[in-house]
């Protein structure tokens, strides 16, 4: 059974005002002093962000429990210095991001200018184990058209600089400003994949292979496929759902490869449209169906995703749990819908943030 690990980026906010606070260094220092959280948390590009990583897990219930535990630990350390954590993929309130100035981030700030200064967004990255680079690249080629559905499920960034962006995931639009971000063409072999990465680095436009920000890529550090398309999810159970679906997509793609089934040859231009559509409407509107690249109700595409990976889910014992989770998500809505409903009810973005602080740890 394939292992899965999750990396989540959280927003640090003032618990009273909801405004982002550039206190990541202080939170990391508390975690290091505590000892238990020393290896759990990492710094990010901005002082208003904190990242954690789970251990690799095969049991998705245990993975969900660890996500909750990591969020609670992050909240505890943040609370000790007077701030809070919120699983929000963008700040609803206006913010001037504070860049953490090490050599790498300094280079990025100089290279990309305002695009770097406006990248305070939080994502969820899922690492799924693969047996080899050959299997990993075969997986990348075959999961491409399904990734927008994961984005739609996770969408959790409707507000930007104090206004409604009219997107469910505006994070995905902001993230797309990086020159290496987005969907990829078919690679066909690990040799072609690694050649493409090397060619990108050789241009000098990006610093190194770590800046290849594909929607899904081979990890530089682990024997995994890293799926990077999702917003950080407001609810921990949605993050668990994304991770479970990601593993099922990887397993399904690997089986198709071993059976000799060729990947669907949608061009990058169509995949970019599918990603835009998913970021625009999330689960509330329509998505481009992975098979036809034509509009279908989002709920219908999500259910077709479940059918597509149904065998893999059944083999890991996750099928019924995932169907129940999807049904619950469609009733409750993703983070974007919850945030907008909170705003409609309270009329205050500050209240939206403070309620999301509470929901982050549930």
CB 101 within 8 A of CB 79: no
pLDDT averaged over the chain?
96
**Confidence (pLDDT) at 206:** 98
Smallest Cα–Cα separation from 232: which of 355, 19, 361, 90?
A: 90
**Confidence (pLDDT) at 125:** 98
Q: Is the pLDDT of residue 123 over 70?
A: yes
Residues 266-286: tens digit of each pLDDT: 999 999 999 999 999 999 999
Q: Is the pLDDT of residue 149 over 90?
A: yes
Regarding the domain delimited by 99-349, which CATH topology (the fold level of the hierarchy) does it fall under? Answer: Creatine Kinase; Chain A, domain 2 (3.30.590)
Domain extents for the chain?
A: 99-349
CB 173 within 8 A of CB 213: no
Residues 257 and 245: their CA atoms lie apart, in Å, by 18
Q: If phi over 0 gives left and psi between -120 and 50 gives alpha, with beta otherwise, what is residue 120?
A: beta
Residues 286 and 297: their CA atoms lie apart, in Å, by 4
Entry pTM: 0.97
Q: Is the pLDDT of residue 101 over 90?
A: no
Q: Is the pLDDT of residue 115 over 70?
A: yes
HSE-CB at 43 with a 13 A cutoff on CA atoms is: 19
**Confidence (pLDDT) at 38:** 60
Partnered with residue 9 across adjacent β-strands are 51
Residues 188-240: tens digit of each pLDDT: 999 999 999 999 999 999 999 999 999 999 999 999 999 999 999 999 999 99
Hey, what's the torsion of the CAs at 127, 132, 137, 138, to 10 degrees? -110
pLDDT interval class at 53 (50, 70, 90): very high
75's tokens: 């909240």
* Chain centroid to CA 11: 14
CA distances from 79 to 73, 85, 91, 95 (A): 10, 8, 19, 20
Q: How many residues does the chain have?
A: 362
Query: Looking at beta carbons, which pairs linking 275-278 to residues 24 or more positions away fall under 8 Å?
Result: 275/147, 275/148, 275/151, 275/172, 275/176, 275/182, 275/183, 275/215, 275/229, 276/173, 277/148, 278/148, 278/149, 278/151, 278/152, 278/155, 278/168, 278/169, 278/172
Residues 216 and 57: their CA atoms lie apart, in Å, by 20
Mean pLDDT in residue range 100-106: 89
Residues 279-322: tens digit of each pLDDT: 999 999 999 999 999 999 999 999 999 999 999 999 999 999 99
pLDDT interval class at 37 (50, 70, 90): low
Residues 235-250: tens digit of each pLDDT: 999 999 999 999 999 9
**Confidence (pLDDT) at 35:** 76
Residues 271 and 256: their CA atoms lie apart, in Å, by 20
Burial (CB count <10 Å: 0-12, 13-18, 19+), residue 33: exposed
């Amino acid at each position: 059974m394939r292992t899965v690990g999750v990396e989540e980026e959280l927003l640090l906010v003032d618990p009273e005002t909801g405004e982002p606070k550039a206190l990541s260094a202080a939170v990391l220092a508390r975690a290091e002093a505590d000892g238990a959280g020393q290896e759990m948390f990492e710094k990010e590009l901005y002082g208003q962000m904190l990242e954690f990583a789970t251990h690799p897990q095969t049991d998705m219930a245990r993975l969900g429990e660890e996500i909750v535990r990591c969020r609670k630990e992050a909240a505890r350390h943040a609370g000790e210095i007077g701030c809070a954590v919120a699983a929000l993929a963008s700040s609803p309130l206006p913010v001037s991001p504070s860049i953490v100035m090490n050599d790498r981030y300094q280079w990025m700030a100089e290279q990309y200018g305002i695009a770097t200064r406006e990248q305070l967004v939080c994502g969820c990255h899922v690492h799924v184990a693969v047996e080899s680079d050959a299997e990993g690249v075969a997986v990348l080629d075959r999961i491409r058209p399904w990734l927008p559905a994961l984005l739609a499920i996770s969408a959790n960034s409707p507000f930007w600089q104090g206004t409604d962006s009219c997107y469910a995931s505006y994070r995905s639009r902001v993230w797309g400003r990086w020159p290496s971000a987005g969907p990829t063409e078919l690679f066909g072999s690990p040799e072609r994949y690694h050649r493409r990465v090397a060619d990108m680095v050789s241009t000098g436009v990006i610093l190194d292979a770590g800046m290849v920000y594909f929607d899904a890529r081979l990890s530089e550090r682990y024997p995994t496929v890293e799926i990077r398309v999702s917003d950080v999810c407001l609810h921990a159970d949605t993050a668990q759902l994304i991770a479970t679906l990601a593993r099922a997509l990887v397993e399904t793609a690997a089986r198709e490869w071993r059976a000799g089934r060729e990947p669907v040859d949608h061009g990058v231009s169509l995949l970019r449209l599918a990603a835009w559509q998913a970021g625009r409407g999330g689960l509330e509107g329509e998505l481009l169906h992975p098979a036809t690249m034509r509009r279908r109700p989002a709920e219908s595409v999500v259910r077709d995703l479940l059918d597509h990976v149904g065998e893999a889910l059944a083999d890991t014992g996750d099928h019924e749990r995932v169907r129940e989770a999807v049904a619950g998500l469609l009733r409750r809505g993703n983070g974007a819908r919850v945030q907008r409903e909170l705003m409609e009810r309270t009329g205050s973005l500050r209240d939206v943030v403070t309620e999301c602080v509470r929901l982050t740890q549930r």
